[in-house]
Structure 1
Amino acid sequence: MNRYLEIMICIACLLLSAVIYGQKYSTRSGNLKFEASMPSFEEVAAENKTASAVLEPAKGDFAVLALMKGFRFKVALMEEHFNENYVESDKYPKATFTGKVEGLDVSKLTAEPKTYPISGDLTLHGKTKKITDNAKISKSGDKIVIVGSFTVKPAEFNIEIPKLVSGKISDKVEITYNLALAK
């Protein structure tokens, strides 16, 4: 009888910890944008409204996945060149970020955004680079909203910009994100 009670207590503890600590927040409609425009030339910018993201608040673990073909440009030809010539979407179909939000305490989040450092690995075009950013994180109803931006260089991910258009595309790409995650 004692052994049975021990097993039941262990199962109850496991279930309770899964309920308490297993509260993940996620989205499949995260918004990512990038801007690589140069003054006096055509806008080089795109938006992806279908990024997936997961936050495990107890540990601060954070991950984002974006399909490269999900980025939409104002000019269809630019989108085609982006997918075929630059990021090679058929060969490298996604970009991922896996990292950690430092010092996150969901119980202290309010509608007023607070700044939290996020660091981790961005993988794009088959290359991985460490990224650090200070994101604004807030809580709106039952959602956690994470907003921020950082800069990368295409060369860091072996993305070549042809000399013919190199003066029309910035060598620094501003990436912004707005992720509303729900339980």
Structure 2
Amino acid sequence: MKKIKVVFTILMLAVSTCFYAQKYSTKIGVIRFEASVPSFEEVAGENKTASAILEPVTGNIAVLALMKGFRFKVALMEEHFNENYVESDKYPKATFKGKVDGLDVAKLTTDAKPYTITGDLTLHGKTVKVTDSAKISKSGNTITITGSFQVQPKDFAIEIPSVVSKKVADKIEVSYKLQLTN
């Protein structure tokens, strides 16, 4: 009888460890950036194919977006973005590796609560520390993370030609929505 209890306890620990070790992920995360200036044409792009993974036990999060996945209202703007600004052939992706501070998946509800996310954003061959206050909720087996933060092109050695510099914001608003499932 003792052996059965020991085996049962070990099995329960193994199952619970596997359950809690599950990762949440997506391949359809949405990342949008807005660099518009009033009175000029909209400068904004959206990528609906960002990949992300969240380790619920540690709070570690990683996001990857292919630069050529950003879509614009004007095709010529998309071409300039890829060829002249982010140089997508040379720097094909943007990544974020960070941590959600104080994440406890068991306490998440359908009401989004604020969490601080801190990590490294790598774009155009440069890495910058980013801190954001994201909203995180959970419904069923889906964790939703939304938020936004600002970056500057100069921090990533992205040069804006003087001829268009007044048409592009100095601070670019980056927003995201990640719906991760396990």
TM-score when normalising by structure 1: 0.91
Q: For residues 120-177 of structure 1, what are the alpha-carbon distances to aligned partners after superposition, in whole Å with 9 as ceiling and x for unaligned?
A: 0000000000000000000122100000000000000000000000000001100000
Q: Which residue of 2 aligns with 1:170?
A: 169
Tell me how large the CA RMSD over aligned residues is: 1.7
Q: Aligned ranges for residues 93-112 of structure 1 at < 5 Å?
A: 93-112=92-111
Q: For residues 25-84 of structure 1, what are the alpha-carbon distances to aligned partners after superposition, in whole Å with 9 as ceiling and x for unaligned?
A: 000000000000000000000100000000001000000000000000000000000000
1:127 corresponds to which letter in structure 2? K
Q: Distance in 2 between matches of 1:14 and 1:108?
A: 21
Q: Aligned ranges for residues 35-54 of structure 1 at < 5 Å?
A: 35-54=34-53
| Unpaired runs of at least 5, structure 2 | 1-6
Q: Which residue of 1 aligns with 2:120?
A: 121
Q: Distance in 2 between matches of 1:13 and 1:110?
A: 26
SS in 2 for 1:115: strand
Shift of 1:13: 8.8
Q: Distance in 1 between matches of 2:95 and 2:76?
A: 25
Shift of 1:20: 3.2
Q: Aligned ranges for residues 2-41 of structure 1 at < 5 Å?
A: 15-16=14-15, 18-41=17-40
SS in 2 for 1:34: strand
Q: Distance in 1 between matches of 2:20 and 2:156?
A: 36
Determine what percentage of the aligned residue pairs are the same residue: 69
Q: Distance in 2 between matches of 1:128 and 1:173?
A: 16
Q: Distance in 1 between matches of 2:47 and 2:31?
A: 5
SS in 2 for 1:37: coil
Q: Distance in 1 between matches of 2:124 and 2:39?
A: 28
Q: Distance in 2 between matches of 1:94 and 1:12?
A: 42
Describe the shift of the 1:67–1:145 C-alpha distance in structure 2 as closer, same or farther (beyond 3 A): same
Q: Which residue of 2 aligns with 1:86?
A: 85
Q: Which residue of 2 aligns with 1:60?
A: 59
Number of equivalences: 175
Q: Which residue of 2 aligns with 1:5?
A: none
Q: Distance in 2 between matches of 1:127 and 1:13?
A: 45
SS in 2 for 1:20: helix
